[in-house]
Structure 1
């Protein structure tokens, strides 16, 4: 049966060429969308490295364009005043909160001639780990024990540790800013976390480092307050929180947002491109389906005498139906095989990096194959049914 179908396909290769190209185009479109979605699904299942539940952020708007430097007393007054609220169970400070669009990067290296490691950085205080539920895999978090340290203490994630210190224990190691940062400043690793993805579930894993902030000892300030509130705290707390902040510093403005809201906005922002691409791909797929259906209809009509002859020599209606559908499946298989040969070059060459790893490629290939075979089946059903219902006498007299 397979050899017979292959011969029939080859004899009509000029007609089948356009069908195969249409199927190949549809497969490429579906593969692109499926790979996009599969990567998002893969990222969503990865651990974040922090717990955003019952956490709020407060952005300080001092109106000085960042020129004013806060001393340790400012941070201490804010911490003490906020902890007096019964709804607040933890207070920490950071350069920016999780799910923010902010990014600060630098290229770090162990020494002057060592390769650079591109790293995302954030300045935080000693209390952030407790507020966000960050768990250490090795070493410890910052503490007052680090006051006066010659090297600036940092906590890095596992990915950076493996890139910076391959095959070695990262805790206790030191590195410098490879971009020529502040001369004479080195960084000492005191702890390692398994993972931290500050921008949320759809962010790809990156090298990440927490820099310890010590008021009055660093060049700038950190102006985001991260609050851990008690479970069940509602948005009504925002008014009371703002009143307390105004009592502490009446000359400042404060932007208060639960991390759950920031998370929702971030997921919506990241998912919008996937939705738009899916809509465009669906429209293109419908157009391809119409073209495929029309081509199959025309081919079936042109083969009416052939079908009539087969019916006259004893072929059943079910056999005719099956032949039409299987021929279409064979064309689809040829187009899919060619598409896979072309697309497999992407993970092999690594041109798209981790975005198209082998897990994503396999998932996208399986999904795409399923969609194309389903599309082929739907497009072949009516032409096959019409061909199977032809009367041998009518078909043999067809002109």
Structure 2
């Protein structure tokens, strides 16, 4: 007998007992819906953990133009070496000290007050290479490094921003559109980031950091309004705020007490064809150390820096910068140097630990939910055994008119699979709806993947075959004489 004919017979039999069929499918529906919901909740939790780690910028490297001079280049009488926060003691580099202008011994930071010590001007004074050492070609080359996810070119300045008579002094960032992808913790309570088209045209559009926006416009929506930057009028297209508990907008903050314009616009305004910074993110937070070394090697090769010469740039990783805050300069190398592969240890292991904990919880929840699938499968077997008993005469007649044992086996197996698959598809729909509800109503992070849906569908089919095989086998083993004589 052909499979198509077997399907027709199976469907006809199920339609005759609609209530029985519906009740049997309920178990499968609940089981599949529960399993899919638990998988989506667990997967969403893992994704949320991963996003929080990346949102903190722990996979971020920032390359600054310019550097310090080496102690050897300073000549006799140089002060003791000071290692900047970005210095990697694992890489064989000479000790570095700050550049002093015209032999002046005073600390250029002595009278300069700033929220963050590492942002003081003396800490980034150009030394061996002037601060125009980074170019767009450098940024393009860094995109080719294995493990690099996004690269953003930037020009940095500071300026007075004016909204009529209201003025606020803020950091001025000229960035390309990739900066939005790099800063995963950014949220837009108002508007958007500037577009690629606006960047290419060098348009006068600006995105305000949340703190800067509050100082200029209060809590009002500033989108569509205009501000003045360096004598030019800019249209506000968005406001950036933080979506991570790790970063809170505050005064002096380099991300949120700042204004953002297209890099091409700021280069035109400042007549500055070179870059101040290049931001690089890695696909994995545990890959930062390896990529950092490749970035150093690539830029040194491109800039023609000899083996005994210092870098004409500084590479800062977020983890090293965080550990260096508040630490005396001559102790920075000790703090960062005693932990080989700092990012791998602190970030990769942290991420793996959180992922493992989340995976374990997902597996536990899914296992508990899978019990309902087993119950649903037993329900299918129970109904199919009852069906075989009720339809013994029908089986006998079919066998008497020429149906083979395998035809009867196929019919009842297809009935069991139909019950499981239809129940499973309804369960998938309910599981998706439950996940959406949890996301919108309870604010849980859920993630429904195509793999999870296919897995649920496959499990439904497998349960139909597994729990339907024994009743189908029982039906196929009935002889015409036994079947017709049973009633």
Could you say which TM-score interval applies, normalised by the shorter chain? Answer: 0.5 to 0.7
The reply on whether 1:168 has 2:194 as its aligned counterpart is yes
CA distance in 1, matches of 2:159, 2:153: 21
Aligned to 1:31: 36
Aligned to 1:351: 440
Aligned to 1:101: none
The structure 2 residue matched to 1:188, chosen from 259, 272, 279, is: 259
Contact 1:336 1:369 survives alignment (8 Å) = yes
CA distance in 2, matches of 1:245, 1:184: 26
Counterparts of 1:66-145 in structure 2, within 5 Å, are 79-80=83-84, 83=87, 85-86=89-90, 135-140=150-155
Aligned to 2:323: 224
Aligned CA distance change for structure 1 residues 199 and 21 (closer, same or farther; 3 Å): farther
Greater CA radius of gyration, 1 or 2?
Answer: 2
CA distance in 1, matches of 2:50, 2:85: 38
The structure 2 residue matched to 1:151, chosen from 170, 173, 181, is: 170
Q: 174-183 or 326-335, which moves further after superposition?
A: 174-183
How does the TM-score come out when normalised to structure 1? 0.56
Aligned CA distance change for structure 1 residues 242 and 25 (closer, same or farther; 3 Å): same
How far is the alpha carbon of 1:377 from its aligned partner? 0.9
How far is the alpha carbon of 1:125 from its aligned partner? 5.2
Contact 1:304 1:395 survives alignment (8 Å) = yes
For this pair of structures, how many residues does the alignment match?
A: 301
How far is the alpha carbon of 1:397 from its aligned partner? 2.2
How does the TM-score come out when normalised to structure 2? 0.47
Aligned to 1:299: 387
Aligned CA distance change for structure 1 residues 315 and 78 (closer, same or farther; 3 Å): farther
CA distance in 2, matches of 1:34, 1:275: 8
How far is the alpha carbon of 1:86 from its aligned partner? 4.7
Deviations 1:372-398 (A, max 9, x none): 011111111121112101122122222
Contact 2:416 2:464 survives alignment (8 Å) = yes
Aligned to 1:375: 463
Counterparts of 1:200-349 in structure 2, within 5 Å, are 224-225=323-324, 244-245=334-335, 257-343=345-431, 345=433
The structure 2 residue matched to 1:10, chosen from 10, 15, 26, is: 15
How far is the alpha carbon of 1:272 from its aligned partner? 2.8
- Name structure 2 gaps, 5 residues minimum: 61-79, 95-115, 124-141, 161-167, 200-204, 220-248, 264-277, 288-320, 326-330, 339-343
CA distance in 2, matches of 1:361, 1:21: 24
Contact 1:82 1:244 survives alignment (8 Å) = no
- Name structure 1 gaps, 5 residues minimum: 54-75, 91-122, 202-221, 227-240, 249-255
Aligned to 2:66: none
Computed over aligned residues only, the root mean square deviation of the Cα atoms, in angstroms, reads 5.4
* 1:284 match: secondary structure: helix
